[in-house]
Amino acid sequence: MSPAAHPQLMLRLPVWRSRLLLALLLAWFVALATRALYLQGLHNDFLQQKGESRYSRVIEISATRGRIVDRNNEPLAISTPVESVAASPADVEITPEQLARLARLLEADAQELERKLADSKREFAYLKRQLPPEEAARVVALGIPGVFLQREYRRYYPAGEVTAHLIGFTDVDDKGQEALELAFEHRLAGKPGSRRVIRDRLGQIVEDIESIRTPQNGSTLMLSIDARLQYLAYRELKAAVAAHRARAGGIVVLDVASGEVLAMANVPSFNPNNRGKLDPRRTRNRAVTDLFEPGSTLKPFTAAAALEAGTVIPESVIQTAPGQFAIGDRVIHDAHPQSALTVAQVIQKSSNIGAAKMALGLKAETLWNLFHRVGFGVPPRSGFPGEVSGKLRAHASWRPIEQATLSYGHGISVSLLQLARAYLIFATDGEIKPVTLVKREAPAESVPVISPATARQVRKMLEMAAQPGGTALRAQITGYRVAGKTGTAHKLEGGGYAPDKYVAAFVGFAPASRPRLIVAVMIDEPSAGQHYGGTVAAPVFAQVAAGALRLLAVPYDAPVDNVVLPPPDAPEIKEEV
């Protein structure tokens, strides 16, 4: 039966509908063709990006951090390559069994790992930083797609605790956190680079496409430190702190000619190679960041101010009897009462009364000016982060008793580095220069502070202090003339001075005929029965200075039998302020 025989079976559609459908189909094909032309011919970045995202990656190339070396090019801080485990979450394919094994190898929480790997929006994630090579190899052996190794660098310190306070340390990203690592971050860090690579499904690099940015390694930092002297200073300081059961100690060794710091050590110390648990109390560089009252080590500056002002000469006689000196309602004492002493003997025997009378014979401004010009009350500008300026009150506010106690180092606070630098005026012809922890390429400019005549006069007094009759007999060195001054100061505690807590100090230089080294030693709270600077700190000076002078091949300036120690039963010349 044909549709023509039955009209009801025939479907008659309007012509416009077929034409509309044809127009829509043609428009759709034109749109597709236009889009294809646009994407593939005019704007193909999108498709390339999507395609490359399946295999192409831009990875960062770490820059090697610059080395820190001593003045003889011995390494003090170096960066060694290590492997870190990373992942590209979008490419990771991992089974529960593999996840459990990976968590055990990395000593990590399985749920935390799963959370990191499930974040497919991230192209990169660290799973564990800085693994030993054998552990990294075991992770790779798991063959987990999307998990790979990333080359990094870890800081290593060959000298360990010996240079810890000086060098500091870096964090897990190899960025300086303390001390010189922090101070010279801009010079040591370098700039990382990047490159484009092709990775397979296992996350392994199969082709290096191009270098985008070349890494710039950090520069080498050469310090003024001599590693041999640094070890010697640390060893002797550590032994002294242990022997006297002290709370802490510090030592600074300066080169007289250049103002360079040849050694700087503190006890207690820490191991910068093990940064898991660091006690902040052990990490600070006490020689630069801690303050203490210098005690009698300041008396030579009082004598120098009086000599410069012309109020005394070395032979001037000062009456110190009967061992007490009243100023208003306060009384100054001498630990070893004397009678009449010359200015030279005041320094030799460390008389508080003699120093106080010299200071009171001066204008307050005169004494303050000398203290200020040698660097007390201002930062030493060594370049070390956190260095302190100390405390030196304005002279206009001084009362007579304060001026008197300042003469022997009470009522003023300094750092050990400041104190060592100040003694440059006695080791030279009255000049001072800036100190540095970085090796100098050219001599530093010196600034005159006192006259050469005054410097030589005080130097002779300091040499007398290390001879029979002085407070520093134990500072003597075989074959060398020594000059220096002891200090024994009560510690401040609770707004007053603790009767049984002391800071023992000694600052000296050798050879006295032509000074080459200044060594400053501070022992905090010795508690083994002895607390005087002459018995606690001076022997450290002797051991360090003797070893250093021989290492530097400094010629003798005295007979080899020059050391004259008192007999064991001889009374000790006491010193206490």
Does residue 151 sit in the same domain as residue 299?
no
What secondary structure letter does DSSP report for 4? G
Share of the chain above pLDDT 90, in %: 60
Task: Confirm whether 12 is domain-assigned.
Answer: no
- The confidence score (pLDDT) of residue 77 equals 96
Task: Confirm whether 32 is domain-assigned.
Answer: no
Does residue 399 sit in the same domain as residue 509?
yes
Residue 531 lies in domain: 227-272+282-551
Query: In DSSP terms, which residues pair with 414 in a beta bridge?
Result: 292
Average pLDDT, the chain: 88
What CATH number did the domain enclosing 193 receive? 3.90.1310.10
Residue 173, pLDDT > 90, answer no
- The confidence score (pLDDT) of residue 375 equals 96
Task: Confirm whether 23 is domain-assigned.
Answer: no
- The confidence score (pLDDT) of residue 150 equals 78
- The confidence score (pLDDT) of residue 565 equals 79
Task: Confirm whether 465 is domain-assigned.
Answer: yes
- The confidence score (pLDDT) of residue 49 equals 60
Residue 495: pLDDT band (50, 70, 90) is confident
Task: Confirm whether 96 is domain-assigned.
Answer: yes
Does residue 512 sit in the same domain as residue 526?
yes
- The confidence score (pLDDT) of residue 366 equals 97
**Contact between residue 145 and residue 131 where contact means Cβ atoms under 8 Å apart:** no
Does residue 214 sit in the same domain as residue 248?
no
- The confidence score (pLDDT) of residue 11 equals 58
Residue 469 structure tokens: 């009759």
Residue 533, pLDDT > 90, answer yes
A 10 A CB-CB count for 127 gives: 22
Q: What is d(CA 252, CA 270) in angstroms, rounded to the nearest whole number?
A: 18
Report which listed range, 101-110, 326-335, 386-395, is most confident.
386-395
A 10 A CB-CB count for 96 gives: 9
Does residue 215 sit in the same domain as residue 231?
no
Query: In DSSP terms, which residues pair with 520 in a beta bridge?
Result: 252, 507
**Contact between residue 389 and residue 377 where contact means Cβ atoms under 8 Å apart:** yes
Task: Confirm whether 557 is domain-assigned.
Answer: no
Predicted confidence (pLDDT) per residue in 287-301, tens digit: 999 999 999 999 999
Residue 158, pLDDT > 70, answer yes
Predicted confidence (pLDDT) per residue in 388-439, tens digit: 999 999 999 999 999 999 999 999 999 999 999 999 999 999 999 999 999 9
Does residue 451 carry a catalytic annotation? no
Query: In DSSP terms, which residues pair with 480 in a beta bridge?
Result: 477
Residue 43: pLDDT band (50, 70, 90) is low
Spell out the SS3 assignment of 469-526: CCCCHHHCECCECCEEEEEEEEEEECCEEEEEEEEEEEEEEECCCCCCEEEEEEEECC
How is 229-255 classified by DSSP, letter by letter? HHHHHHHHHHHHHHHTT-SEEEEEEEE
- The confidence score (pLDDT) of residue 84 equals 84
- The confidence score (pLDDT) of residue 99 equals 82
Strands 147-156 and 205-213: unpaired
A 10 A CB-CB count for 267 gives: 23
Amino acid letter, 305: A
Does residue 201 sit in the same domain as residue 244?
no
Task: Confirm whether 562 is domain-assigned.
Answer: no
Residue 543, pLDDT > 90, answer yes
- The confidence score (pLDDT) of residue 391 equals 95
Q: Give the end of a domain, one of 187, 204, 222.
A: 222
Does residue 167 sit in the same domain as residue 258?
no
- The confidence score (pLDDT) of residue 360 equals 96
Residue 170 structure tokens: 């870096």
Choosing from 62, 269, 296, 415, the catalytic residue is: 296
Does residue 191 sit in the same domain as residue 238?
no
Does residue 61 sit in the same domain as residue 156?
yes
- The confidence score (pLDDT) of residue 39 equals 65
- The confidence score (pLDDT) of residue 153 equals 84
CA distance from start to end of the chain: 135
Strand segments (E) across 191-323: 193-199, 205-213, 221-222, 248-255, 261-267, 317-319
Does residue 216 sit in the same domain as residue 238?
no
- The confidence score (pLDDT) of residue 149 equals 82
* Residues 504-518, mean pLDDT to the nearest whole number: 97
Least confident of 55-69, 428-442, 482-496: 55-69
Q: What is d(CA 242, CA 527) in angstroms, rounded to the nearest whole number?
A: 10
Does residue 216 sit in the same domain as residue 241?
no
Place of tokens 């070395």: 314
- The confidence score (pLDDT) of residue 148 equals 80
Residue 567, pLDDT > 80, answer no
**Number of domains observed in the structure of the chain:** 2
Residue 7, pLDDT > 80, answer no
Task: Confirm whether 41 is domain-assigned.
Answer: no
* Residues 51-72, mean pLDDT to the nearest whole number: 75
Q: What is d(CA 515, CA 259) in angstroms, rounded to the nearest whole number?
A: 12
- The confidence score (pLDDT) of residue 572 equals 66
Q: What is the pTM of this model?
A: 0.84
**Contact between residue 362 and residue 309 where contact means Cβ atoms under 8 Å apart:** yes
- The confidence score (pLDDT) of residue 137 equals 83
Does residue 202 sit in the same domain as residue 260?
no
What CATH number did the domain enclosing 511 receive? 3.40.710.10
User: Rg of the chain's alpha carbons, rounded to an integer?
Assistant: 37
Residue 13: pLDDT band (50, 70, 90) is low
- The confidence score (pLDDT) of residue 198 equals 61
More confident: 208 or 196: 196
- The confidence score (pLDDT) of residue 217 equals 87
Residue 203, pLDDT > 70, answer no
Residue 576: pLDDT band (50, 70, 90) is low
Identify the helix (H) or strand (E) that includes residue 323: none
* Residues 247-261, mean pLDDT to the nearest whole number: 97
Residue 224 structure tokens: 């003024």
Residue 201: pLDDT band (50, 70, 90) is low
* Residues 228-232, mean pLDDT to the nearest whole number: 98
Predicted confidence (pLDDT) per residue in 258-290, tens digit: 999 999 999 999 999 987 777 777 888 999 999
Q: What is d(CA 291, CA 505) in angstroms, rounded to the nearest whole number?
A: 13
